[in-house]
């Protein structure tokens, strides 16, 4: 790999044979234990999940990041891992679904095994061990033999008793030859609750920090942390392109803007002299952020900041109106359906957002943010709550998962620019009377496709969630439109 830097990063992935095997619980417990031991871990979630990284963030007190090999090519994936782990002494990756599960029944692409392979990350496989003894051997052997690239380096036995564990460990290591680095007993009081979009939010779980502390104390006794750290330290150096090294440190107008300008076409530098201020100005982009709007890719927000944006948080639930002097607006996903009454009763905010969006303020509204722009939002109990009213149609609960998984968007424009294909994903139980028809969404596996997204020169509104590193032209198109709004505002 010519022109690559070799960056040494201790790293480990927690994976499992299936969903519901305890990956999030064990990952959070391990992260909390590492913190208690004085380590500085960085955490990552495989795939497009929003909620699991929030649990990681709750443990670490810093943002977790996503790594997704459907969204990004191998070089970019490795570079994002290196960039986001640069201040840590250990990277902990959490897998997704079953270890070999990917974007389709015939492919492991974008799954945990794919990410482990792309990043050369050693894997600890969680082995369900309740109610079995010798039967774990063929299951473990099957996982080891099925690997195209041997990344599984150790096992954690889950839901096994302290009395049985030593004998199972000895049997597995004797007959298969892979280290067993510990076990997790049955812990009913540490279970994490769920709802329709996944786990409950960390702040909603009673005594969440107490659960994490109890879990860390238990894992301190049942995991061989020294052996885990040794396996993590054995990860090979990560080959990374040098430009990403500069991307993390570049301020507005420096390498990040140059790199994005090349990838995204024409770019208007937001750092300029403004006739309105008499000095350098900065794009002010409003970021809806509260209980109802809480699904973010931290890398997206970081990239916008690196491109010259100042993100101005506000709450559609609690604030009276939008912040002053905005050049753009971000309405991300979350749970607006759970706060229909509160959002509806904030009439001044609804009017402020409707006037801004209809007035041409560049706006990116994804999923929950898209729902908020409708005339009404009907909750699961049948209550139709008035929303911002940018669109005259209604949004409603379907009672089932309407769309789920990766899609590729083609055929449309983003803020007036042709940005090419956009890899994104959907996950929603809600539908719109008019979901839009600007783009054709096509599943990467199979032949399913449908029209979606309402897009104009100043608006992207639809169910697909966007990850900017999948196509940096999307961020560039949004920032360019925001920069034009800035210029008009300061004439």
* Residues 391 and 434 sit within 8 Å (Cβ to Cβ): yes
Say if residues 193 and 199 touch (Cβ distance below 8 Å). yes
Q: Is 367 marked active-site?
A: yes
> What local confidence, expressed as pLDDT, does residue 242 receive?
67
C-beta separation of 334 from 365 below 8 A: no
DSSP one-letter string for 198-221:
EEPPGGGSTTHHHHHHHHHHHHHH
pLDDT confidence of residue 491 = 78
Out of 28, 247, 294, 367, the active site residue is 367
pLDDT value at residue 203: 59
Calpha distance 119→123 (Å, rounded): 11
What local confidence, expressed as pLDDT, does residue 433 receive? Answer: 96
pLDDT at 474: 98
Instruction: Compute the radius of gyration of the chain from its Cα atoms.
Output: 23
Backbone phi and psi for residue 381, each to the nearest 5 degrees, phi listed first: -90, 0
Q: Could you read off the pLDDT of 334-381 as tens digits, one per residue?
A: 989 999 999 999 999 999 999 999 999 999 999 999 999 999 999 989
Tokens for 209? 């920090």
Q: Tell me, what's the pLDDT at 281? A: 65
Instruction: Check: CB of residue 250 under 8 Å from CB of residue 257.
Output: yes
**Cα 294 to Cα 301: distance, rounded to the nearest angstrom:** 13
Q: Is 384 exposed, middle or buried (0-12, 13-18, 19+ CB in 10 A)?
A: middle
| pLDDT block averages, 10 residues each, the chain of length 491 | 83 94 89 94 91 74 88 96 95 96 88 97 96 93 96 96 96 98 83 45 62 89 98 96 45 35 38 36 92 93 95 98 98 93 98 98 97 96 96 93 89 97 93 96 90 97 97 97 93 78
Write down the residue that tokens 């990284």 correspond to. 53
Report the 10 Å Cβ neighbour count for 57.
Answer: 17
If you ran DSSP here, which 8-state letter would residue 436 be given? Answer: B
List pLDDT tens digits, range 74-101: 999 999 999 999 999 999 999 999 999 9
Contact assessment for residue 445 and residue 111, using Cβ atoms and an 8 Å cutoff? no
Interatomic CA distance for residues 411 and 461, integer angstroms: 16
CA distance 428 to 336: 12
The answer to whether 306 and 247 have CB atoms below 8 angstroms apart is yes
The pLDDT assigned to 263 comes to 38
Give the list of residues 6+ apart from residue 456 with CB closer than 8 angstroms, or none.
416
Please, are residues 219 and 182 in contact by the beta-carbon 8 Å criterion?
yes
């Amino acid at each position: 790999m010519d022109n690559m830097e070799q960056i040494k990063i201790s790293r480990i992935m927690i994976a499992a044979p299936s969903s519901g095997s305890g990956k999030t619980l064990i990952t959070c417990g391990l992260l909390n234990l590492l913190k208690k031991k004085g380590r500085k871990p960085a955490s990552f979630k495989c795939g497009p999940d929003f909620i699991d990284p929030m649990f990681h963030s709750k443990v670490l007190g810093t943002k977790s990041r996503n790594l997704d090999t459907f969204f990004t090519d191998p070089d970019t994936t490795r570079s994002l891992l290196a960039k986001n782990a640069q201040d840590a002494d250990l990277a902990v990756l959490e897998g997704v679904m079953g270890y070999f599960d990917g974007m389709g029944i015939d492919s492991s692409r974008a799954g945990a095994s794919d990410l482990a392979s792309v990043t050369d990350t050693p894997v600890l496989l969680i082995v369900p061990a309740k109610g079995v003894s010798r039967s774990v051997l063929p299951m473990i052997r099957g996982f080891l033999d099925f690997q195209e690239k041997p990344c599984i380096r150790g096992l954690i036995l889950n839901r096994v008793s302290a009395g049985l564990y030593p004998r199972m460990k000895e049997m597995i290591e004797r007959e298969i030859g892979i280290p067993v680095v510990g076990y997790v007993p049955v812990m009913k009081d540490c279970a994490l609750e769920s709802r329709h979009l996944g786990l409950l939010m960390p702040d909603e779980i009673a005594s969440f920090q107490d659960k994490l502390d109890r879990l860390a104390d238990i894992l301190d006794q049942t995991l061989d942390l020294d052996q885990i750290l040794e396996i993590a330290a054995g990860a090979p150096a990560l080959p990374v392109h040098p430009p990403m090294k500069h991307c993390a440190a570049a301020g507005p107008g420096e390498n990040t803007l140059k790199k994005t300008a090349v990838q995204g076409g024409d770019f208007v530098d937001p750092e300029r002299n403004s006739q309105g201020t008499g000095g350098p100005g900065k794009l002010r982009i409003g970021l809806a952020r509260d209980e109802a709007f809480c699904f973010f890719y931290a890398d997206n927000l970081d990239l916008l900041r690196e491109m010259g944006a100042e993100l101005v948080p506000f709450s559609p639930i609690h604030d009276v109106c939008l912040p002053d002097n905005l050049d753009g607006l971000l309405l991300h996903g979350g749970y607006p359906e759970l706060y229909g009454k509160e959002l509806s009763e904030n009439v001044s905010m609804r009017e402020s957002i409707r006037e801004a969006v209809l007035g041409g303020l560049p706006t990116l509204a994804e999923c929950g943010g898209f729902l908020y722009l409708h005339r009404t939002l009907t909750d699961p109990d049948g209550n139709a709550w008035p929303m911002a009213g940018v669109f005259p149609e209604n949004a409603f609960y379907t009672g089932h998962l309407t769309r789920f998984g990766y899609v590729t968007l083609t055929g449309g424009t983003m803020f007036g620019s042709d940005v090419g294909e956009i890899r994104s994903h959907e996950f929603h139980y809600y539908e719109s009377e008019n979901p839009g028809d600007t783009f054709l969404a096509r599943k990467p596996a199979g032949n399913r496709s449908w029209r979606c997204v309402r897009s104009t020169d100043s608006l992207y509104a639809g169910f697909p969630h966007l990850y900017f590193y999948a196509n940096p032209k999307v961020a560039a198109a949004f920032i360019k439109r925001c920069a034009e709004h800035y210029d008009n505002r300061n004439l």
